[in-house]
């Protein structure tokens, strides 16, 4: 009877071990390469506090008389900084939530393990109680009555004490296992609560971002409501576009000369820190979340809807949701990643053979100057920084220093 009981217990333990092995394998597969720790969450929270501190500084600046005396373009740059920091806060919370989701998966496993240990100890305890009900008191009395001498009786009493201590240990193990289960469940619930707090804060930041975007759009609309101001702004933007194109051409020429030097010294080419990067020449669509029907403004001259004057537009505008991914149209090297009062956050990529692409008005940039990027790699997020009303990507293509219609290469 006892052997069968022990065999059943062993079988249950082996089954639990196999079940947990399968669960661990599944979790390991889902979270391969990611080790969620409280330290990572603490690091992200410290980053978020820094974003909040910088936003408070910007807001304090906005509330000053000095801000009121700024030009509209200068004001827009300050608002762009605030929008960018809010976007970074949202990204930070998204990463924090991802860590919490992994932690919750781990803690759910811990709860299952604790419950399994508790169930195993409960079986031990129940089996012992059943034995005591069947044989307990009578067995102890029989052991004592069967003693042959006083010293034999004392020895038997010691034996009974050992049995009782073992029974107490089984009971204590059950209580410990139950406490571990309760602690694991409490830790899981606390982690879930913290994650929900992060989700709630994310929703508040999204509302705040919408308010910031609306404030920036109102500022641009006010600028465009004045013919004199709008003309001055157009001239400034156009001059800035020409300056940026000259800068692009200079950097492309620098890369070309560097490649010529490497070609002339083949031995040094192997040790060169920046090998030649050439794209396919066939550009991919830069905003994966929307199609070609989202082009809101084409390349070339366009008629201003209010002032009825023609203006040159050096690229195409692709409307998309704020925060949507912007990807590299082809393989290449980042030659510019910067902020400009006209183009906002913008990135320029050299694809070799005289071709460059420019991506403007980003809410944030995800690459730095000198980075090598692959076709389809995320390089930034859709925004409305610089002289821009509403979230969109301004996309330009240049061939040998001349801006051309991107539609011919997409």
Nearest to 387 by CA among 230, 242, 243, 245: 230
Rg (CA), the chain: 35
| CATH number listed for the domain at residues 226-408 | 2.70.70.10
Please report, rounded to a whole number, the percentage of residues in the chain having pLDDT higher than 70.
71
- What residue segments make up the domains of the chain, in order of their start? 2-222, 226-408
Residue carrying structure tokens 């571990």: 180
- Per the confidence metrics, is the pTM higher than 0.75? no
Nearest to 276 by CA among 357, 378, 372: 372
Q: Where residue 327 falls among pLDDT bands split at 50, 70, 90?
A: very high
Q: How far is CA 177 from CA 55, 107, 111, in A?
A: 48, 16, 11
Phi and psi torsions of 390, nearest 5°: 90, 150
Tokens representing 71? Answer: 């030009």
Residue 161: the pLDDT is 63
Residue 7: the pLDDT is 43
Torsion angle of the four alpha carbons 157, 161, 166, 167, in this order, in degrees rounded to the nearest 10: 100
Nearest to 237 by CA among 351, 364, 389: 389
Please report, rounded to a whole number, the percentage of residues in the chain having pLDDT higher than 90.
21
**Distance (Å, whole) CA 229 – CA 215:** 18
Q: How far is CA 97 from CA 91, 120, 204, 225, 332, in A?
A: 10, 34, 15, 43, 33
* pLDDT tens digits for range 217-264: 888 777 666 655 556 666 667 777 778 887 887 888 777 777 777 666
Higher pLDDT, 284 or 136: 284
Residue 324: the pLDDT is 94
Q: Is residue 133's pLDDT more than 80?
A: no
Length of the chain: 410
Higher pLDDT, 357 or 242: 357
Residue 306: the pLDDT is 45
């Amino acid at each position: 009877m006892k052997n069968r009981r022990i065999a059943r217990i062993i079988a249950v333990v082996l089954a639990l071990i196999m079940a947990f092995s399968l669960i661990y394998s599944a979790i390991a597969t889902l979270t391969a390469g990611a080790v969620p720790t409280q330290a990572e969450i603490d690091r992200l929270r410290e980053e978020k506090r820094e974003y909040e501190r910088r936003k408070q500084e910007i807001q304090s600046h906005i509330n000053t008389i000095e801000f009121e005396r700024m030009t509209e373009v200068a004001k827009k740059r300050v608002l762009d900084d605030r929008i960018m920091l809010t976007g970074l806060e949202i990204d930070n919370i998204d990463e924090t939530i991802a860590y919490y989701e992994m932690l919750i998966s781990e803690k759910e496993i811990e709860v299952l393990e604790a419950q399994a240990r508790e169930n195993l100890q409960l079986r031990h305890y129940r089996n012992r109680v059943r034995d005591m009900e069947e044989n307990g008191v009578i067995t102890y009395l029989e052991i004592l009555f069967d003693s042959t001498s006083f010293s034999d009786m004392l020895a038997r009493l010691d034996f009974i004490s050992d049995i009782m201590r073992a029974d107490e240990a089984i009971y204590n193990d059950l209580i410990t296992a139950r406490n571990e289960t309760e602690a694991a469940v409490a830790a899981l619930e606390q982690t879930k609560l913290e994650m929900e707090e992060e989700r709630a804060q994310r929703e508040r930041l999204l509302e705040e971002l919408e308010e910031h975007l609306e404030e920036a759009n109102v500022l641009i609309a006010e600028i465009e409501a004045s013919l004199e101001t709008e003309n001055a702004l157009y001239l400034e933007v156009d001059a800035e576009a020409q300056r940026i194109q000259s800068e692009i051409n200079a950097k492309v020429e620098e890369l070309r000369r560097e490649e010529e030097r490497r070609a002339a010294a083949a031995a040094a080419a192997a040790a060169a820190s920046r090998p030649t990067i050439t794209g396919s020449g066939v550009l991919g669509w830069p905003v994966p979340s929307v199609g070609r029907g989202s082009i809101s403004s084409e390349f070339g001259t366009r008629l201003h809807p209010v002032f009825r004057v023609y203006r040159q537009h050096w690229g195409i505008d692709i409307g998309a949701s704020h925060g949507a991914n912007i990807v590299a149209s082809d393989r290449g090297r980042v030659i510019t990643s910067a902020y400009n009062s006209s183009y906002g956050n913008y990135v320029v990529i050299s694809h070799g053979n005289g071709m460059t692409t420019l991506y403007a008005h980003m809410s944030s940039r995800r690459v730095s100057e000198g980075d090598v990027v692959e076709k389809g790699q995320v390089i930034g997020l859709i925004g409305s920084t610089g002289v821009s009303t509403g979230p969109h990507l301004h996309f330009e293509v240049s061939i040998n220093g001349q801006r051309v219609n991107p539609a011919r290469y997409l």
